Amino acid sequence: MAKADGKGRYRWFRPSMRTAVVSRHQLKSDLERAAERGEFQVHYQPIVDLRTGRPVAAEALVRWVHPERGLLFPETFISEAENSGIINEIGRLVLRHACAHVGGWQQHVERKPGEPPFAVAVNLSPAQFAQPDLVAQIDEAVEAAGIDPNSLILEITETMMLQGSDRVLRTLDLLSGFGVRLAMDDFGTGYASLASLRKLPIDIIKIAKTFTDDITGNEEKSPFVRAMIELGEALGLVTLAEGVETAQQARELERLGCRLGQGYHFARPVPSAGIELLLQRYAEQQAGLAKVIAFPA
Ligand code: C2E
Ligand code: MG
Ligand code: MG
Ligand code: MG
């Protein structure tokens, strides 16, 4: 089969292209069915205070439990979900589950005075962000779960924030005013200017894994990480490093003044019950420690 390429020339339509088109179409209908059948699940990855090791939040990460292919990760379906609009349905589900779960977890956490509550972070894609009822959806999910709005962190990528139209800015202002916290995801991989960082109502910057990877103990290798942490601090933002895989990286980040960390070194994403267990254990450990301090042997 020959196909016009728009420049008046013809090129051969390769069989592989046909397969790609068919399987994308297939994927779209599979995604629709998966949503109907409730095959999407939410896993959560802990976020910890680098200085104390205390878990302070968990990030919601969607999974597709496929009847034949098993557990599927977002990279295999998120972009098609995004293109076909099914991401909005998935997003609503993730939001509802995340808010309900964090409400349950908070019962195992002793809230320190002056500190924000244990939170859940939810990723928002550009298509979700464009929904006119986004703020209403978030309001509803928070209400239904009976949680404080600052128990919810919304993660938005740098690129998206910087499409920086007035509408995006208005939505971010509305969300921030409502009391949810906003995080810039994958910071350093987009094009955030200093001016935009100052203008946007963000609370947290998540330093992208690729920069965390630079931390090897050799100071010369991580000037970007250090600069990002200093910038975040200077702007009064909370800095969070993604993809922390080694104890050495965790120590070095702490030394550089980074506040929070997330990565396989601390924990992999787990089902909600895993977070509950982690929080219970942490509380027990702290109680044990308090006893040791109160009654030294
Ligand atoms: P992200 O928001 O930057 O999430 C972090 C990703 O890094 C997760 O991959 C997480 O499992 C992985 N990760 C965490 N620690 C480590 C580590 O130490 N080493 C390595 N190599 N990887 C680590 P995951 O779950 O596959 O998600 C990939 C991306 O898919 C996310 O990147 C996010 O952009 C998107 N995504 C996931 N869940 C959702 C969702 O519910 N809605 C939307 N819109 N996007 C989602
Ligand atoms: Mg994220
Ligand atoms: Mg705010
Ligand atoms: Mg990220």
CA of 208 to the centre of ligand 4 (A): 6
Is residue 185 a contact partner of residue 156, using CB atoms and an 8 Å limit? yes
What are the C-alpha distances in Å from 174 to residues 185, 233, 236, 253, 275? 19, 24, 20, 33, 30
**What does the pLDDT read at residue 134?**
94
**What does the pLDDT read at residue 124?**
95
> How many other CB atoms sit within 10 Å of the CB of residue 23?
12
Tell me the residue type at 29: S
> Cα(252)–Cα(227) distance, rounded to whole angstroms?
14
Our answer on whether the CB atom of 269 is closer than 6 Å to any ligand 1 atom is yes
**β-strand pairing of 238-241 with 10-12:** unpaired
Residue 168 region by backbone torsions, left for phi larger than 0, else alpha for psi between -120 and 50, else beta: alpha
Count CA atoms closer than 13 A to 192's CA, side-chain side: 25
Q: Give the ipTM of the model, two decimals please.
A: 0.97
**What does the pLDDT read at residue 160?**
75
Q: For residue 87, which atom of ligand 1 is closest to its CA?
A: 44
Count CA atoms closer than 13 A to 150's CA, side-chain side: 10
Count CA atoms closer than 13 A to 246's CA, side-chain side: 9
Locate the DSSP E strands across the chain.
2-4, 10-12, 40-49, 55-66, 70-72, 119-123, 152-157, 181-187, 204-207, 238-241, 260-261, 270-271
**Digitized pLDDT (tens) for each residue of the chain, 297 residues in all:** 344 444 445 555 555 555 555 577 888 899 999 999 999 999 999 999 999 999 999 999 999 999 999 999 999 999 999 999 999 999 999 999 999 999 999 999 988 888 899 999 999 998 898 899 999 999 999 999 999 999 999 999 877 776 667 788 889 999 999 999 999 999 988 777 677 777 889 999 999 999 999 998 776 778 889 999 999 999 999 999 999 999 999 999 999 999 999 999 999 999 999 999 999 999 999 888 777 777 665
Our answer on whether the CB atom of 208 is closer than 6 Å to any ligand 1 atom is no
Our answer on whether the CB atom of 120 is closer than 6 Å to any ligand 1 atom is no
- Predicted TM-score of the model (pTM): 0.91
Is residue 144 a contact partner of residue 99, using CB atoms and an 8 Å limit? yes
Best mutation site among 83, 88, 93, 123 for ligand 1 pocket (most ligand atoms within 8 Å of CB): 123
Q: Which of 130, 128, 57 is nearest to 93 (CA)?
A: 128
Q: For ligand 1, atom 37, which residue shows the shortest CA distance?
A: 61
Is residue 206 a contact partner of residue 184, using CB atoms and an 8 Å limit? yes
Q: For residue 94, which atom of ligand 1 is closest to its CA?
A: 41
> Cα(222)–Cα(213) distance, rounded to whole angstroms?
9
CA of 37 to the centre of ligand 1 (A): 23
Contacts of 94 (CB under 8 A, 6+ apart): 40, 42, 60, 62, 122, 123
Query: Residue 154 CA: which ligand is closest?
Result: 2
Is residue 244 a contact partner of residue 255, using CB atoms and an 8 Å limit? no
**What does the pLDDT read at residue 289?**
78
> Cα(71)–Cα(45) distance, rounded to whole angstroms?
16
Best mutation site among 78, 80, 95, 137 for ligand 1 pocket (most ligand atoms within 8 Å of CB): 78
> Cα(44)–Cα(61) distance, rounded to whole angstroms?
6
